[in-house]
Amino acid sequence: MSEPRLHGNDLTLAYDERVISRELSVSIPDGSFTVIVGPNACGKSTLLRALARMLKPSAGAVHLDGRLITQYSTKEAARRLGLLPQSSIAPEGITVADLVSRGRYPHQRLFRQWSAADTEAVAEAMTSTGITDLRHRRVDELSGGQRQRVWLAMVLAQQTPILLLDEPTTFLDIAHQIEVLDLCHDLHVSHGRTLVAVLHDLNHACRYATHLIAMRDGEIVAEGAPAAIVDETLVRDVFGLACRIIDDPETGTPLVIPTAKQPVVTTS
């Protein structure tokens, strides 16, 4: 098998003196929906930031399409790899369509600011995120769920074959979480894009991921298809949580049921 489009070798990741990961190697299978899970502060967002060239590894290197990611101009890299950061600031008063249109920046030049392809990509991104009706609304008037879909649409308009999503479901209620994950699933299945997401909810990860990476203390503890790697031992090792694993009645994927610590009091 040829080497995957995005992989990191022997990465040492650190913020100043604080080392998060040492000699970490990771490969993102092409066309997968890869989900990184792990307890808080296990280094999963740090790993994603390194893959997205937001954090320069102290040692080791990230490769994209056969070259060091640092060898691309940042604009060229942005045509191959998109990132949805954990939090971004919407400029005051900007409209939804205008914000989404900013995703086209890596495809534009100083005097080629708006092409037919730009119009098409923005329309398509707004359709697939279901925000076409909101396009003339101001972003600061929207609900949290709507706003997250707008940011996602901006990254989709970038039309990169690889998409990195840092906790795309945080701050969303359960219905909106599922909506965003279904959208990701759809992107990966029908558009053949490679997705990498950091998720908090292990059950969501098991249901949607084709490739799961479990991390603890800056190290990868296990990786593979959720059904192949998720069991009681892994959940205890990674999260320190006692649980039972059953089959998800909807999808057959592993479903984590935390063990009840004390008998539940029911009142009648």
Partner 1 sequence: MSRIAVEPTDLSPTGYVLRGPGELSVRFDRRVVLMCGLLVAVLIAVFLTSLAVGDFTISPGDVVRTLFGNPPDPLADFIVNGRRLPRVLVAFLVGGALGASGAVFQSLSRNPLGSPDVIGFTSGASAGAVFVILVTGGSMLQVAGGAVVGGLATAVAVYLLAYKRGVQGFRLILVGIAAGAMLTSAVHYMLMRAELIQAASAQVWLTGSLNTRAWDHVVAVGIGVALVAPLLAVLSRPMRLIEMGDEAATGLGVNAERTRLGMLIAATVLAAIAVAAAGPIAFIALSAPHLARRLTGASGAAVGAAALMGAALLGASDLVAQWVLPTPLPVGVVTVCVGGLYLVWLLAREGRRNHV
Residues at the interface with partner 1 (CB under 8 A): 16, 49, 52-54, 73-79, 82-95, 97-98, 101-103, 105-106, 110-115, 119, 122, 135-136, 155, 158
Choose between 72 and 237: whose C-beta lies nearer to partner 1: 72
| 110 contact partners, CB below 8 Å, separation of at least 6 | none
Choose between 160 and 206: whose C-beta lies nearer to partner 1: 160
Choose between 135 and 204: whose C-beta lies nearer to partner 1: 135
The minimum distance between CB 268 and partner 1, in angstroms, equals 46
Choose between 24 and 165: whose C-beta lies nearer to partner 1: 165
Rg of the chain's alpha carbons, rounded to an integer?
Answer: 20
The minimum distance between CB 88 and partner 1, in angstroms, equals 4
Centre a 10 Å sphere on the Cβ of residue 3 and count the other Cβ atoms it contains. Answer: 11
Token readout for 108 is 């534009």
- For 106-143, letters b (16+ CB in 10 Å) and e give bbbeeeeeeeeebeebbebbbebbebbebbeeebeebe
144-157 and 174-190 are packed helices; what angle lies between their axes, rounded to 10 degrees?
20
Choose between 136 and 261: whose C-beta lies nearer to partner 1: 136
The minimum distance between CB 112 and partner 1, in angstroms, equals 5
The minimum distance between CB 18 and partner 1, in angstroms, equals 12
d(CA 206, CA 145): 22
β-partners of residue 163 are 82, 195
The minimum distance between CB 97 and partner 1, in angstroms, equals 4
The minimum distance between CB 149 and partner 1, in angstroms, equals 15
Centre a 10 Å sphere on the Cβ of residue 191 and count the other Cβ atoms it contains. Answer: 14
Choose between 8 and 106: whose C-beta lies nearer to partner 1: 106
d(CA 91, CA 56): 27
